């Protein structure tokens, strides 16, 4: 996209600010990590239902396991990002054991049974909560009482509590032995990139910079509007990435950064100014314009060394799947400005 036509002086100045440079380094670090062969995942193991008939794991089994994990996190009031991390452990483990890091040669495949998948899934959640199980209260505040809440919530999900959630299917000893096996298989690489969390936070941080370029500052009122837009996009995009974890067609096919970026664009589409709203100055002042979206895309492109671009095939397809997955997201996230929000975000091929 040609962003130079939209306030080039302001844009250039902001792109080279210390804040932008710091965010760029963080993004590049994340992109490098997710591209590592040690963090590659493959959907091939879900073909076990074909190889083992009724007892083999399938995409449906994975989706139900993901939903069950979210229910447990909600009950223990833990941050939902741990589910994405736990599912990565599961996917990575079976990518390795099913056929040698995603090898598509059927002669070396080791089918996965539903029972094995359930044990690995339960153990993966146990590991994820131990290493990343942040309390929801502490996701907002960081005072001492919240720090205690983090420790308390993580301790509540002990090994024996974890075993009890299986309804006597697995013992604490089985989970402990499986934990050792998983850690060795994963090579102790327990800090994967997932679509939610820090990826969404970093992507959303660039929005105010893009909006600044359009309005050239804008004063206190513009700053307040930027904050409202930023919070809206973050909440909506986080919701979409959490849903995406359970969908194999997204989480096992596209990189976390692509899913996160497609989710952010889908959230921005809900606030995107259309022809009718542009006729009203009050509506236009509260909506996001196409120029802002172009500037945002250009900022991310520069910050990520041309990694992010909204018209690339992966981003377009991921966004289409999100649209099919959550067609009425606009009803869950009404406009923060009190205006009618489109029921669906804008699909490139008008699938919605």
Q: What is the pTM of this model?
A: 0.82
pLDDT at 2 over 50: no
pLDDT at 151 over 60: no
Q: Name the CATH superfamily for 39-100+111-137+150-186.
A: Cyclin-like (1.10.472.10)
Instruction: Let me know: does 199 contact 237? Beta carbons within 8 Å.
Output: no
How is 107-168 classified by DSSP, letter by letter? Answer: GG----BHHHHHHHHHHHHHHHHHHH--BTGGGT--SHHHHHHHHHHHHHS-HHHHHHTTTT
Of the listed ranges 5-19, 48-62, 159-173, 334-348, the one predicted with least confidence: 5-19
Instruction: Let me know: does 287 contact 277? Beta carbons within 8 Å.
Output: yes
Give the model's pLDDT for residue 135.
Answer: 58
Report d(CA 155, CA 269) in Å as an integer.
Answer: 41
The set of residues, in sequence order, having a beta carbon less than 8 Å from that of 244 and lying 6+ positions away, is 195, 250, 251, 259, 263, 322, 325
The set of residues, in sequence order, having a beta carbon less than 8 Å from that of 32 and lying 6+ positions away, is none
Report d(CA 294, CA 341) in Å as an integer.
Answer: 21
Residue tagged 């962003």 (tokens): 3
Q: How open is the CA angle 92-82-237, to the nearest 5 degrees?
A: 100
Mean pLDDT of the chain: 80
- C-alpha closest to that of 206 among 4, 3, 2, 15: 15
- C-alpha closest to that of 41 among 91, 112, 97, 84: 91
Of the listed ranges 14-28, 74-88, 250-264, the one predicted with least confidence: 14-28
Check residues 91 and 275 and name the one with the higher pLDDT.
91
Domain locations in the chain as residue ranges: 39-100+111-137+150-186, 198-210+225-277+286-332
Report d(CA 320, CA 310) in Å as an integer.
Answer: 12
> Number of H helices and number of E strands within the chain?
18, 0
pLDDT at 32 over 70: yes
| Structure tokens, 240 | 């979409």
- C-alpha closest to that of 62 among 35, 40, 93, 33: 93
pLDDT at 228 over 60: yes
Residue 276, helix vs strand vs coil: coil
Report d(CA 232, CA 227) in Å as an integer.
Answer: 9
């Amino acid at each position: 996209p040609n962003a130079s036509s939209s306030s080039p002086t302001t844009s250039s100045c902001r792109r080279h600010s210390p804040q932008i440079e710091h965010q760029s380094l963080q993004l590049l670090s994340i992109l490098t990590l997710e591209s590592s062969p040690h963090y590659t995942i493959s959907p091939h193991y879900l073909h076990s239902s074909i190889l083992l008939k009724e007892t083999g794991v399938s995409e449906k089994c994975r989706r139900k396991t993901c939903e069950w994990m979210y229910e447990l996190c909600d009950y223990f009031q833990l941050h939902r990002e741990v589910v994405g991390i736990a599912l990565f452990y599961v996917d990575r483990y079976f990518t390795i054991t099913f056929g040698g890091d995603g090898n598509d040669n059927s002669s070396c495949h080791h089918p996965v049974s539903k029972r094995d998948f359930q044990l690995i899934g339960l153990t993966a959640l146990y590991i994820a909560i131990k290493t990343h199980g942040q309390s929801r209260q502490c996701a907002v505040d960081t005072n001492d009482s919240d720090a205690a809440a983090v420790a308390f919530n993580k301790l509540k999900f002990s090994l024996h509590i974890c075993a009890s959630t299986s309804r006597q299917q697995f013992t604490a000893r089985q989970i402990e032995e499986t934990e050792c096996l998983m850690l060795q298989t994963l090579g102790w690489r327990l800090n994967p990139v997932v679509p939610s969390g820090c990826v969404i936070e970093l992507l959303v941080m660039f929005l105010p910079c893009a909006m600044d370029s359009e309005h050239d500052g804008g004063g206190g009122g513009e700053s307040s509007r930027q904050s409202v837009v930023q919070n809206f996009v973050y909440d909506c995009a986080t919701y979409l990435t959490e849903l995406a974890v359970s969908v194999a067609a997204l989480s096992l096919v596209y990189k976390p950064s692509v899913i996160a970026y497609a989710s952010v664009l889908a959230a921005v589409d809900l606030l995107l100014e259309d022809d009718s709203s542009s006729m009203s100055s009050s509506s236009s002042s509260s909506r996001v314009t196409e120029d802002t979206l172009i500037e945002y895309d250009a900022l991310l492109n520069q910050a990520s060394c041309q990694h992010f671009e909204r018209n690339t095939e992966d981003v377009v397809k991921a966004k289409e799947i999100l649209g099919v997955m959550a067609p009425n997201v606009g009803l869950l996230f009404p406009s923060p400005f009190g205006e009618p929000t489109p029921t669906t975000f804008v699909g490139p091929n008008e699938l919605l």
